[in-house]
Structure 1
Amino acid sequence: MKNQASQTYEIMEVCLLAGKIMLQSGGETYRVEDTMMRIAASFGIENTHSYVTPTGIIFSAEGSEETKTKLIRISERSTDLKKVAMVNSISRRISSGEVTLLEALGLLNEIDSLDMTFPFMVQVAAASSASGCFMIMLNGGWNDFIPAMISGGLGYLSFVYVHRFVPIKFFSEFLASFLIGLLSLLLVKIGIGHQLDKIIIGSVMTLVPGLLITNAVRDLMAGHLVSGLSKGAEAFLTAFAIGSGIAIVLAFLKV
């Protein structure tokens, strides 16, 4: 009985680790729950229940004599869809019987420890290029491509640095959008930029919570009301922070 209970806890550990990685990396709530339950079923635990929110996971397994429940807290969330795809791949291998319990735990721990983000300067360069391209997509002129790159790149740079020292996302997004508005206005005033609105819109696109909005809608459609509403609220706060930073620049400088 002790061995059976120990194995059940090990299976739950694998399920929770897979769910934690996916949730921290931007996975949808319904995908996290489905993956955890499929992994448990593949290892012989059919009666499982999972409750996932953006800040925590509760997972329980019903045994012959008792129900075991574990809870983990999710404190940090980012966007790393590569990790989500890797966990999905391991889940499929578990379902097909290619991976044992101990192998799955080792593979998931390896994924959890990986830092798959691009180098910092590559991220800044990508944000800068994306800002210019978004500005063109929004019917901006090519003569504003460089100004949009400058304001977008520096805005993203400030967002990352401020978030490192003050881990409050609303504050860092507000300051980043404020800097973007200030730089865009300055570039237009000195004659380098021409269309202020197009430069600002293109530059802030790298801060827009597109994945959050998408996941919020998908969770709501799947019936996960708590997760959908909380993600929607987080996306609203991000949009409010971006809009407030730009609005303050335009209002106080009377543009």
Structure 2
Amino acid sequence: MSTFKFDGQGTARLRRVALVSVSFAVLSVAGGCSSIDRLTQIGERPRLTEIDNPTTQPGYKPVQMPMPKPEAVSYAPNSLWRNGSRAFFKDQRAHQVGDILTVMVSISDQANFANETQRSRKNSEDSGITDFIGAKTLGTQALKVLPGRILTADGTASSDGKGSIQRQETLQTNVAAVVTQVLPNGNLVVEGKQEIRVNYEIRELIVAGIVRPEDIQSDNTIESSKIAQARISYGGRGQISDVQQPRYGQQVMDILLPF
């Protein structure tokens, strides 16, 4: 009779195999790729996303914006200084695809709104016959046969609505972005992504938009408020974010239930 002994690594490997088997079993019943990923990462740190080219992503689309008419470039004669340059020999600011610049994200928004609406309306309709072709001359018996009030309708409606919004957001951080496209008028399309993992939680910052070269400072930085069509995302994923989110079943019920 043979016996099997497992060391610490063997036990951990067996436990991981069991978790993967359970994951596939749950997949066959419930389905869902996201559930599989979460089950296979039990006890593991969230994986960092690999560095890749944003233009090769499946959902990537080149930006198209209204362009002005091209203008001829003029140079100052007998001058060593190049127009638009902030350095004597070469402009160190980002200006072509692949260049890197630093985006200084500074968001400090505060909004307070208070609205109140009141409305009241009252309608009354009354119609009838008081004297039908000289009915009064026929006596009281004839008046009993003739109709009186034919239609009487009353309506009343009122509404009172109040609403208020109070929001305050503050975000201060920096992120390096890469120039992914140069538009015909010289504007730059930039995109940057930053991921930071602390223990079992990943914080990611995504910045994308259109930058005017004149707004890039001499130290190759630009403020987020000067980015057109700016898309800024700051969030996280991991064990803490997972606990803060409602379960999938609860989210489905919140969408489907009308009450």
In the superposition, the TM-score normalised over structure 1's length comes to 0.24
Higher strand share: 2
Q: Rg bigger for which structure? A: 2
Higher helix share: 1
In the superposition, the TM-score normalised over structure 2's length comes to 0.23
